[in-house]
Chain A
C-alpha cells in the first residue's frame, strides 16, 4: 500500500487533469487533496501512483468517478442550527421585506441537504414561493443525488432530525419526507423553485447575480490563492447589500475583497457586500 504521495506526483496529476479534462485542481489544499488521492488508490487497488495516471490518461470515462472521489461530499441538513436561526430571524426577514423575490445560490451544494434545509425553512415562513434557488456543484453525480432527494434513514434520525430540532423548526422534519425501506424520499413540492446546475468555482466564471450565497465547507478544500479568486467571484455574483455565508470556521478577512464586505455575524460567518 502507498503511504504517501510526492509533491511532484501531485503536480504531474493536476497537469494531466488540466490538459486532458480542463479541470484545475492545482490550487486545492494539499493535505486534503493528498488524502483523497490516497483514498482513490485504495478504493481502486492501484498499487502505484502511476497506475492512476495511466487510467486517467487512457480512460476518459474514469474521470467522472475521479471527480466524485476527489471531492469531499459529507454534509448535513441544518448543519450549524444557530446559523439557520440567524438566517431565519435576522437575514431573510430584511431581504424578503425589501425584495419582490429573493435569489439564493448554494455554491458547492453536495447531495442537497443544505438546499432542502433552505427550502423547508423558507416554506415554514411563507417565503418559498418568493424565492429562486440555484444549487451548484462541480460533481455531476452528487448533483443527481441532490435532485433525487433520497437519503439513508439512518442519517435522518441520527443527524438531520436532531439538527432540525436544535434549529427549532415549526414542525418535524419527518413531515417533509416519507420512508421507503432503508431510505427516505424528500417531498418534491419543496423543490419546484430549485435549479440544479454543474458549476466549477475554480473555473473563474461568475454565475448569476443573487441576494444570498451559501458557500459553506467548500473553500476549505482550496489553498489561499484559489480562495482569493473564488471570493472575488462570489463578490461579483452578489448584488450590493447581498449576503455571503461561509462555514463556521472559515473567513474572508485575509482576502483581497475583504474591504468590500462587512461582518454581520462573526460567530456564524455571515458577511454583507457593501460595495462593488
Chain B
C-alpha cells in the first residue's frame, strides 16, 4: 500500500524504548531502503556506547551523524548525546546545542518538527515508550504536514506517558504493539 511512499522513518523514544528499538532494527526488512532517524532520550554526558549497544542486533549500520552529514538510504541515524538533531534542507543533518526542550536534549519534538518540514507527507513518525511528553508536539506537526503517524500501544509500553501525550493531541493513524509495528512496516513499506 505504501511502497516507495516514505522517504524516512523517524522514531522517538525514552524510558522503556530501548528494547523496542533493538527489535525494530533487527527485524525490519532490509528491502526498506530509507533512512531511519532515531531520537532517543539518553544521558547527556555519556557520548559513547549507545551506538554499539544498538548495533549488536541491527541489520543496518548505525551512526551518530556529524553536523551537515549527508543523509543516506538504509542507514540508521542516532541523535548524539547533548545535541538536538535537525533534518536540514539539502538532504543533510544539522545539530544544535540550543536550550533543552521538554527537559531533553536531544528533543524528539525538534527532530520530528524539522524532519516533517523537509519530508512532508513522505515522513513516517513513530513514538515509543517514554516517561515525559516530548514528541507529542512533533507528532502533531508531522501529521499536519501530511506525514503518517504510528504510536506504540500504551498498553504495551513500559511507561506510557509519551504515547498517551501523543495520542491526546493528534489523531494518530495506527496504535500498535511492537510485533505489529514490525509486521505493518515489513508488509506495507516493502
Contacts and interface: CB of A to CB of B under 8 A. Distances in A.
B96 A219 contact: no
Given A224-B68, A249-B64, A32 B98 contact: yes
B141 to A, nearest CB: 8
Contacts of B68: 29, 223-224, 227, 254
A249 B83 contact: yes
B82 to A, nearest CB: 8
Interface string B85-125: 01111001011111100000000001000100100000000
Interface string A51-72: 0000000000000000000001
Interface in A16-46: 29-32, 35-36
Contacts of A220: 67, 94-97
Contacts of B47: 80, 82, 248
Contacts of A4: 117
Interface in A77-95: 80, 82
A217 interface: yes
Interface in B59-90: 64-68, 80, 83, 86-89
Contact of A250 (B67, B86, B89, B110): B67
B110 to A, nearest CB: 7
A84 to B, nearest CB: 13
A183 interface: no
Contacts of B97: 72, 74-75, 217, 220
Contacts of A247: 67
A232 interface: no
A97 B67 CA distance: 34
Contacts of A199: none
B80 A249 contact: yes
A224 B89 CA distance: 12
A57 to B, nearest CB: 27
B66 A31 contact: no
A223 B179 CA distance: 41
Contacts, number: 64
A223 to B, nearest CB: 8
Interface in A113-172: 162-163, 166
A14 interface: no
A247 B92 CA distance: 18
A240 interface: no
A219 B117 contact: no
Nearest to A110: B97
A16 B67 CA distance: 28
A270 to B, nearest CB: 15
A193 B44 CA distance: 32
A36 B164 CA distance: 29
Nearest to A227: B68
Contact of A31 (B64, B65, B80, B87): B87
A23 to B, nearest CB: 20
Contact of B99 (A31, A74, A219, A224): A74
B31 interface: no
A251 B98 contact: no
Contacts of A31: 86-89, 94, 96, 114, 117
B66 A251 contact: yes
Nearest to B47: A248
B3 interface: no
A163 B94 CA distance: 25
Interface in A209-240: 217, 219-221, 223-224, 227
B45 A162 contact: yes
A36 B67 CA distance: 18
Contacts of B117: 4, 31
Which 6 pairs, one residue from A and one from B, show the smallest C-beta to C-beta distance?
A31-B86, A220-B67, A31-B114, A74-B97, A29-B94, A250-B67
9 contacts: A4-B117, A29-B94, A31-B94, A32-B94, A32-B96, A72-B97, A162-B45, A219-B67, A249-B64
Given A32-B98, A36-B98, A250-B66, 13 more contacts: A31-B94, A31-B96, A32-B86, A32-B96, A72-B98, A74-B97, A80-B47, A82-B47, A219-B67, A220-B95, A223-B68, A248-B80, A249-B66
